[in-house]
Homo-oligomer: A and B are copies of this chain.
Amino acid sequence: MAQRDILNQLRGKGVRLTPQRLLILNAVSDGGGHMGVDEVFRRAKESYPYIDIATVYRTLHLFRRMGVVTEVAIGDRLHFEITDPEAPHHHMVCRPCGGAYDLAPDYLDEFRNTLSVEFDFEPDLDNFTVTGVCSNCKKYGADALGA
């Protein structure tokens, strides 16, 4: 999603566009991959040193509710990335090395369907993360780090 579209979308929902919010949006956007909260905070602080960590959390949660960013739990810390409506995806997170890999949504279609039909349970699979052990860590035994 282009920056401009995001801003229009937010404005349309009555969300105020403060300097802090723009800073945080840029930080997540420029970061590229999955950004830790502290990394977002650090980047935003470079432009505006008075920004508070509480504002970062509040803003990231706001953006998540608005669908602008997606939350990914890596280890037990929260990470965020810009939501890409063109290419929605889930995440596989490697417990030993902390790596995060994208997973196409169709791998979960059948699972979603089963839960819906059999239990009338509507899973939150828009933002789904499965932890495990990746190929590399399996090969080189980095699992020793795991919990």
Contacts and interface: CB of A to CB of B under 8 A. Distances in A.
A82 interface: no
> What range describes how many residues of A lie at the interface?
20 to 34
A27 B65 CA distance: 37
A120 B138 contact: yes
Given A107-B111, A111-B107, A111-B108, A123 B92 contact: yes
Given A65-B147, A147-B65, A121 B132 contact: yes
- Copies, count: 2
A135 B107 contact: no
Contacts of A114: 107
A interface: dominant SS: mixed
Contacts of A115: 92, 103, 107, 130, 132
A46 interface: no
A25 interface: no
Interface of A: 65, 92, 94-95, 101, 103, 107-108, 110-111, 114-115, 118-125, 128, 130-135, 138, 147
- Nearest 5 Cβ contacts at the A-B interface: A123-B132, A120-B135, A122-B133, A124-B131, A123-B130
